[in-house]
């Protein structure tokens, strides 16, 4: 018999810019699903509005206030910046976006997962029709590396000024993310065996059924690259059924454009992963359809943070012009995570993904308002369920 969690406590953080509208559209769709029971509590932070009233993007005891939630669902953060309407409330991007890094690091959400599967009807920038068969998953290290925020500026503003940034990679941090990538590859292989995921397109050309690619810049950023390469080889030995390859970050970016269908799971450091996931998003139909999950795969009691890869798009905020696909698919990623222990959530994740895909296949990405798309997806879910 199925064991469902009675209900899931979700902290909803609409945030800035288009965040509130894509979140509202997504709530419509979530309400149309048969389950699981989600208790959605909307928080006023992190947000620029919160900053205006409190002088910071999040309350100082954000950690305490998040205790008790099972998952966090965030819309978007971001500052329009000085080039936009000067009347708008705005902050430097280092302040505006800081909560993202604070939540990821503060909660030790060390794995960031960003899949790229092109959606029919969404923009496809590549001309090679094989790109439509792309089905890759970037596993990004989310807690250390280039993002440790250590360094400083010596003699700032003077001719002898020197800015330093330290990158720190621990073996423990490297090993856990690489192992997680292999676990995900194994799961994807299993899904393929069960017919739940399309076979690897590249397999027709002799590629393996499952593969993990590790990305470094070991020919120029040597110590980090060596550590990653060595740990990768050690962990790979535990997964003999999974093929492995190595790419340098520059060549990997190139191949994401020239032959993305060759990749299965890709594991990369914080900065490399940041770059690769933006590229992956473009391949899959643009930032408008790219979901992302920040998790602690070793500890389900830590609430994961689900957020679209896109920013707050201040230029169209409030105009009902944003497409909520990325937010909808981010909510589906949350349901997928819940689905690891809750079968109702697992089925709802598939339903929501299917409704979004069908909606975009039928209507494309333009021409409708954000709320309208939310209602249409909700209606499609209800009809399919009836």
Ligand X SMILES: CC(C)[C@H](C(=O)O)[C@@H](O)C(=O)O
Q: Are strands 136-141 and 71-76 parallel, antiparallel or unpaired?
A: unpaired
174 φ, ψ to 5°?
A: -70, -40
In the block, residue with structure tokens 């205006």: 52
d(CA 153, CA 29): 48
Contact assessment for residue 215 and residue 184, using Cβ atoms and an 8 Å cutoff: no
Nearest to 289 by CA among 333, 336, 334, 323: 323
340 interacts with ligand X by CB under 6 A? no
238 interacts with a second copy by CB under 8 A? no
What's the DSSP call for residue 284?
T
Contacts of 62 (CB under 8 A, 6+ apart): 45, 46, 99, 102, 103, 106
Alpha-carbon distance values, 346 to 2, 111, 161, 162, 338 (Å) = 12, 20, 54, 51, 7
227 interacts with a second copy by CB under 8 A? yes
274 interacts with ligand X by CB under 6 A? yes
- Residue from 168, 220, 254, 341 in contact with ligand X (CB under 6 A): 220
Instruction: Restricting to residues 259-298, name those near a second copy by CB under 8 A.
Output: 270-271, 274-275, 277-279, 281-283, 286-287
- Residue from 24, 132, 257, 302 in contact with a second copy (CB under 8 A): 257
d(CA 122, CA 99): 30
Nearest CB to a second copy, comparing residues 28 and 104: 104
275 interacts with ligand X by CB under 6 A? no
d(CA 176, CA 286): 29
49 interacts with ligand X by CB under 6 A? no
**C-alpha dihedral sign at 192, 196, 202, 204:** positive
Instruction: Restricting to residues 179-218, name those near a second copy by CB under 8 A.
Output: 217-218
Closest separation in Å from C-beta 247 to a second copy: 11
287 interacts with ligand X by CB under 6 A? no
- Residue from 13, 100, 328, 331 in contact with ligand X (CB under 6 A): 100
Count of residues binding ligand X (CB under 6 A)? 8
What count of other Cβ atoms lies within 10 Å of the Cβ of residue 49? 16
268 interacts with ligand X by CB under 6 A? no
| Residues found in the chain | 386
| Rg, Å, the chain Cα set | 21
d(CA 238, CA 178): 12
Instruction: Restricting to residues 300-329, name those near ligand X by CB under 6 A.
Output: 309
Closest separation in Å from C-beta 56 to a second copy: 17
299 interacts with ligand X by CB under 6 A? no
359 binds, among a second copy, ligand X, none (CB under 5 to 8 A by kind): none
Angle at 300 between CA 299 and CA 304, to 5 degrees: 105
Nearest CB to ligand X, comparing residues 172 and 254: 254
- Residue from 159, 195, 240, 367 in contact with a second copy (CB under 8 A): 159
Tokens linked to 85: 């309407």
166 interacts with ligand X by CB under 6 A? no
124 interacts with a second copy by CB under 8 A? yes
What is the binding site for a second copy (CB under 8 A)?
A: 93-94, 96-97, 101, 123-128, 146-147, 149, 151-153, 156-172, 217-227, 230, 248-251, 253-254, 257-258, 270-271, 274-275, 277-279, 281-283, 286-287
Q: Which residues bind ligand X (CB under 6 A)?
A: 97, 100-101, 219-220, 250, 274, 309
């Amino acid at each position: 018999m199925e064991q469902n969690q009675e209900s899931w406590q979700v902290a909803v953080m609409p945030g800035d810019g288009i965040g509130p509208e894509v979140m509202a559209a997504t709530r419509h769709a979530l309400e149309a699903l048969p389950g699981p029971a989600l208790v959605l509590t909307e928080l006023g932070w992190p947000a620029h509005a919160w900053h205006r009233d409190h002088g910071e993007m999040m309350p100082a005891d954000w950690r305490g206030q998040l205790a008790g939630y099972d998952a966090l669902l965030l819309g978007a953060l971001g500052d329009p910046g000085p080039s936009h309407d000067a009347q708008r409330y705005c902050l430097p991007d280092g302040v505006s976006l800081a909560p993202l890094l604070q939540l990821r690091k503060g909660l030790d959400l060390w794995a960031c997962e960003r899949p790229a599967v092109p959606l029919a009807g969404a923009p496809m920038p590549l001309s090679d029709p094989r790109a439509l068969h792309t089905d890759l998953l970037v596993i990004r290290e989310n807690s250390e590396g280039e993002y440790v925020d250590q360094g400083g500026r010596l003699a700032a503003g003077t001719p002898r000024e020197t800015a330093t940034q330290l990158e720190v990679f621990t073996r423990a941090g490297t090993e856990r993310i690489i192992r997680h990538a292999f676990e995900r590859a194994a799961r994807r292989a299993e899904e393929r065996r069960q017919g739940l995921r399309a076979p690897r397109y590249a397999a027709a050309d002799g590629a393996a059924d499952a593969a993990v690619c590790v990305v470094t810049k070991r020919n120029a950023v040597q110590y980090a690259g060596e550590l990653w390469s060595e740990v990768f080889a050690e962990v790979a030995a535990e997964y003999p059924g999974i093929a492995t390859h190595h790419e340098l970050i520059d060549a990997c970016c190139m191949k994401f454009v020239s032959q993305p269908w060759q990749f299965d799971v890709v594991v990369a450091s914080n900065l490399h992963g940041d770059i690769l996931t933006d590229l992956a998003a473009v391949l899959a139909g643009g930032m408008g359809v790219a979901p992302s999950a920040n998790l602690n795969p070793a500890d389900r009691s830590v609430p994961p943070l689900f957020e679209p890869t896109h920013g707050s798009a201040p230029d169209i905020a409030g105009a009902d012009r944003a497409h909520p696909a990325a937010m909808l698919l981010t909510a589906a990623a949350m349901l997928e995570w819940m689905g690891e222990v809750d079968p109702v959530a697992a089925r709802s994740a598939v339903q929501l993904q299917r409704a979004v895909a069908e909606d975009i296949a039928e209507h494309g990405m333009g021409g409708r308002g954000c709320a309208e798309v939310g209602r249409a997806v909700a209606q499609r879910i209800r009809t399919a369920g009836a």
